Structure 1
Amino acid sequence: MTTTMTTTDESDVRRHELAAFLRSRRERITPEQVGLDRGRRRRTPGLRREEVAQLSAVGVTWYTWLEQARDIHVSPQVLDAISRALLLDPSERTHLFALAGAVDPAPGTSCATVTPGLRQLMEQLEPVPACVLNSRYDILAYNRTYGRLFCDLDALPPEDRNCILLAFTNDDWRASVADLRESTRSMAAKFRASMAEHLAEPAWKALLGRLEAASPEFREIWARHEVVSQAGRTKQIRNAHVGLLSLEHTNLWLGPAAGPRLIAYVPCDDESRAALEKLQAFVLSEV
């Protein structure tokens, strides 16, 4: 007779695995490694729970509950802070997020989603523009033609490389979108649909606040409470270097539907392919 693990059972197993993993990582770190004084009467191997909480800027009780496998919500931002406090290497960080059932959202950091193989794949897709986005529209990685498709991404700081932010605030990006009004409306609706699962997370709230402060257009669209799902479609893009492009926007999900995805812009006709080849030649000429 076979038995099937219920969702509740699986969640309980995950919490206990997470708790054991956190304890094991905490116990292997010496206070000196993180700039703390060992003191004379230390019995705990490695760091104390309150020291990890202090280094992660989370409550001691809350962190204790994590190590006790309590049923509490853990945001990706808190996991990021704990990962840094415990000096996790990339493989351990990946394991931490997997146990917590969360997607590592951190732009500008080494992301488990963007493997060397995936970066190589994006390079081989050229001249087809391609990038990896998370559900918050952060651009986690991109190839050279995507880097010049809408604007010069290399010239922007990592914290500004976010599609929805650029669509509402960057003049070069906005000038490249043929149907700007429909595009921004669709992006805001997709962002609202994605944010439903992340309402309490600081990074999402910070991005929303930044958009509302910077763009009256965004505030007006956001007030409509429209939602749509992710879908591929044909886009008309006026590239500053090679002119009008007709491209098929295609999503390839790299995990759960709400997680990161590879996006490619495949030319719809010979003229657009030739234009992308010119764009690739232009980018290479600057190297």
Structure 2
Amino acid sequence: MDRAELAAVLRTARSRVKPADVGLPAGPRRQVPGLRREEVAQLAGLGVDYVIRLEQGRGPRPSPQVLSALARALRLSDDDRDTMFRLAGAAPPQAGRVPMLVRPSVLRLLDRMADLPALVLSAKSDVLAWNPLAAALLGDFSELPSRQRNLIWQRFLGKTPDPDAESAADCVGCLRTAQARYPEDPDLARLIADLRAGSARFDALWRARRSGRLRPGSATIEHPELGPLTLDVDVLQEPETDQNVLVYSVAPGTPEASALELLRVTGLERFAYPQ
């Protein structure tokens, strides 16, 4: 492990990422280029002290899971990610694993969707990226531990499980399909094991052995301030990385349209970073 070079790579990568690139407000008194260490830790689901030690070249050897989380938080390219893994003394991610890095062109597309909530999901429904309006509507994913930053985990093990039977079966079918494509992925196997152990409903649907995929439809979001909001959900497939972009929209003139407009104006204030 080359601690000094790894530290330099992490610091440089952090300075290149703007808060707006990852759906965070810049704040009025930002004094550092790029992200703060606290923000990197939040996005990666790590402790701030751990990130500080890595950037100072005195941290322990990070696990592949930690390195993958940092690569996503810092939006590293595949080449930069592989370099970071090698500097940490770890083998880069192998073929046969669920792709977890979002292509820069997809991130630019997400940034342009300022008027609609949108997020990027992995093949196993990890939330990999989201725009500010998605955070205002669905909650700030960066505040969740990395293992909980998954829509299927939230559906079956979160605070407000979704009771819709048909879409629940589709969600379980998505993991069946992902398992067939990535049978050697340890994080996918761990997710399935956690869901089967923690949710009898998931386990029953899993034993039905039904495959599936994400489908466009509608979803009712229980917003903590605006109440239940029913929105259309469209799925845009990105076949190169086996990822999906979920886009939420509503018809003009509806109460939900007014609610989204309110969130566009005020929603980000709920997620302002403390100064």
Same fold, judged at TM 0.5 (above) = yes
Report the equivalent of 2:132. Answer: 144
Secondary structure at 2:142's aligned position in 1?
A: helix
TM-score by length of structure 1 reads 0.58
Equivalent of 2:148 in 140, 146, 160: 160
Question: What is the distance in 2 between the residues matched to 1:276 and 1:32?
Answer: 46
Distance 2:142 2:62 in 1: 31
2: CA distance between counterparts of 1:170 and 1:118? 28
Q: CA deviation at 1:224?
A: 1.2
How high is the TM-score relative to the length of structure 2? 0.60
SS in structure 2 at match of 1:230: coil
Counterpart Cα distance in 1 of 2:214 and 2:153 = 17
Q: Which letter does structure 2 place at the counterpart of 1:212?
A: R
Question: For the residues of structure 1 that align with 2:103 and 2:125, how far apart are their CA atoms?
Answer: 15
Indicate whether 1:284 and 2:272 are aligned.
no
- Provide, for residues 95-146 of structure 1, a one-character-per-residue CA deviation record: whole Å limited to 9, x for no partner: x87xx587632xxxxx3x242x544432432341100111011111001222
Give the AA of the match of 1:87: L
Seen in structure 2, the aligned counterparts of structure 1 residues 83 and 245 have a Cα distance that, compared at 3 Å, is same
CA positional deviation for 1:266: 1.6
Equivalent position of 1:249 in the other structure = 233
Q: Please give the alpha-carbon distance, in whole angstroms, between the structure 1 residues aligned to 2:204 and 2:141.
A: 27
Q: What is the alpha-carbon distance in structure 2 between the residues aligned to residue 80 and residue 30 of structure 1? A: 15
* 2:169 corresponds to: 185
Q: Residue 86 of structure 2 corresponds to which residue in structure 1?
A: 86
2:27 is matched with: none
Q: How many Å separate the matches in 2 of 1:145 and 1:30?
A: 39
Report how many aligned residue pairs link the two structures: 199
Partner of 2:183: 199
Rg bigger for which structure?
A: 1
Say if 2:112 is the partner of 1:124: yes
Distance 1:199 1:162 in 2: 19
Contact 2:3 2:87 in 1 (8 A): no
Query: For residues 30 and 162 of structure 1, do their structure 2 counterparts lie closer, same or farther at Cα, with a shift above 3 Å needed?
Result: closer
Structure 2 CA distance for partners of 1:56 and 1:114, relative to 1, 3 Å: same
Q: Does 1:266 align with 2:249?
A: yes
Amino acid at match of 1:86: R
Question: Which of 208, 220, 234 is the equivalent residue of 1:236?
Answer: 220
Contact between 2:2 and 2:87, CA under 8 Å: does it hold in 1?
no
Q: How much does 1:159 deviate?
A: 2.9
Gaps of 5+ in 2: 7-60, 64-78
Distance of 1:31 and 1:171 partners within structure 2: 40
Percent identical among aligned pairs is 22
The change in CA–CA distance for 1:274 and 1:165 in structure 2 (over 3 A counts) is: same
Query: Larger relative contact order (C-alpha < 8 A, sep ≥ 6)?
Result: 2
Is residue 209 from structure 1 mapped to residue 204 from structure 2 by the alignment?
no
Shift of 1:150: 3.5
Conserved 8 A contact 1:114-1:141 = no
Report the residue type matching 1:199 in the other structure: P
